[in-house]
Amino acid sequence: MVAFIRFADDLSAWFGKAFAWLIILMSFGTGYEVFVRYVLKSPTPWALDVSFIMYGSLFMMGGAYTLSRGGHVRGDFIYRLWQPRTQAVVDLVLYLIFFFPGVTALILAGWKYAARSWGYGEVSVNSPAGIPIYQFKAIIVAAGILLFIQGIAQVLRCIACIRDGYWVEPEEDIQETEDLLLKKVTEAEAGGHI
């Protein structure tokens, strides 16, 4: 069980981190567009489409990674007061009732949508450049499959927590700045430095 959880976490992390590099491409692309539009007075016909494509790809492919690290929004003000076993039972029920039907619908509808788009070689209607976008419709399906795999890992986490009374935590990863600062302050207080 733990081996599959680690596999899914690693898979989600790999895709999430790989697609995170799109942020740099988006920054350069937006910077270039601003330069040519306002300095050279010659805007590109493709910049808006490319930024939409990259942002959408980043957003979709980062979903499973965010799920694996517990980064999605939840009603934490009540949830965090519960014992881990209660949290796991509630999570398990919600995954089965809402998550898996929703992700399954995403995969099936995405497949149909992508197949249709590939069939006629869809191009963007947002600009005169006619940027091909059919290949990016497949990301809907890929993101859904990654979410489904990560969802199975989350269900296994719930089952392990119900059995053992504690959560199987994801491996150490990137930490938020505020978490690092809080840790530093907590360690300093424990050491009597504040």
Helix (H, G, I), strand (E, B) or coil at 132: strand
Please write the tens of the pLDDT for every residue from 92-115: 999 999 999 999 999 999 999 999
Instruction: Answer yes or no: is pLDDT of 194 > 60.
Output: no
One-letter-per-residue 3-state SS of 77-130: HHHCCCCHHHHHHHHHHHHHHHHHHHHHHHHHHHHHHHHHHHHCCCECCCCCCC
Please give the full DSSP string across 153-178, using - where no structure is assigned. Answer: HHHHHHHHHHHHSS--PPPS----HH
Q: To 5 degrees, how large is the angle CA 65–CA 71–CA 73? A: 130
% of the chain residues with pLDDT over 90: 64
Residue 77 burial (10 A CB sphere; 0-12, 13-18, 19+):
exposed
Round to whole Å and give the CA distance between 194 and 190.
Answer: 9
pLDDT of residue 193: 59
Q: What's the confidence (pLDDT) of residue 174?
A: 74
Residue with tokens 């050491």: 191
Q: What is residue 92's predicted lDDT score, i.e. its pLDDT?
A: 97
Write out the two tokens for 160: 């392990």
> Is pLDDT at 126 greater than 70 in this prediction?
yes
Q: Whole-angstrom Cα distance, residue 94 to residue 155? A: 10
Report the candidate in 58, 60, 79 with the shortest Cα–Cα distance to residue 70. 79
Average pLDDT, the chain: 91
> pLDDT at residue 127 above 80?
no
Residues 25-73 have pLDDT tens digits of 999 989 999 999 999 999 888 888 888 889 999 999 999 999 999 888 7
53-57, 147-151, 183-187: segment of lowest average pLDDT: 183-187
pLDDT in tens, 4-26: 999 999 999 999 999 999 999 99
What pLDDT is attached to residue 146?
98
